[in-house]
Amino acid sequence: MSIRLSPIAVLMATSILAGCSAGPVSQATTLSATNGPSDASPSAAAVPSDAAVPPTPPSGSPASTAAPTGGAAASAPAPGDVPPRPGKPTFRLVKETPGSGGVTTEYEITWTSPSGAASEFVVYGVTKCLRYAKKYDGKPCLVRGMPIPRSALKLLGRAPGDARSMRVSWDQGEAGPGPYASILLRASNSIGDSIFTIVQSEDVCYRCTY
């Protein structure tokens, strides 16, 4: 005697056989919510910002490895904020020493700063006139608020936090301007760096020849 099964019965029998032949099937369709730290994107605070990083001194410069020593700032209370930019800068020629093919010039820089606010002062030379253009002829190469590329900065010297003066020197030819269009000074401590103070700036000399 033949037995005819309805389509519904056939479908139920097929499902039962499949369930017996296959292994357990997980009902989870998404990954666990307990992903490790490596699965998470870094927070904005963890990503270094080039704008917030202080200029890096050129590698191999003897001055870049010198650390401030001594001074009253070492025993001052830990500052709670970045130091203010140095104030009232002066720039005075101390002496010129002739040499073969040029002269060595030495300058003294002075400034003001609150006691204990900075742990170090750093002086940079700007190696190019950043406003070199006809419309700025006869005007300063650097003015307040201008962005300064790292590639144009040359470390000239460091001083401890209790210093209020520093001497810097460089060689230059017998004719023409010196190697630096501007001189900058900033204060630093364990929190960060002040904005730059413009100590001195040459004027734009558009298409001048020497």
Listing DSSP states for 38-86 in one string gives: GGSPPPGGGSPPGGGSPPPPPTT-GGGG-----SGGGGSPPPSSPPPPP
21 located within any domain: no
77 located within any domain: no
143 located within any domain: yes
Asked if pLDDT for residue 5 goes beyond 70, the answer is no
70 located within any domain: no
32 located within any domain: no
Look over the chain and give the mean of its residue pLDDT values, rounded to a whole number.
Answer: 72
CATH number for position 169? 2.60.40.10
47 located within any domain: no
The residue range of the domain holding 183 is 85-201
Split into its structural domains, the chain has a count of 1
114 located within any domain: yes
For 154-174, how does the pLDDT look when each residue is reduced to its tens digit (9 = 90+)?
A: 999 999 999 999 999 999 887
149 located within any domain: yes
Residue with tokens 């002062």: 121
For 24-74, how does the pLDDT look when each residue is reduced to its tens digit (9 = 90+)?
A: 332 222 222 333 323 322 222 222 222 223 333 333 333 322 223 233 333
DSSP assignment of 74-109 equals GGSPPPSSPPPPPEEEEEEEEEEEEETTEEEEEEEE
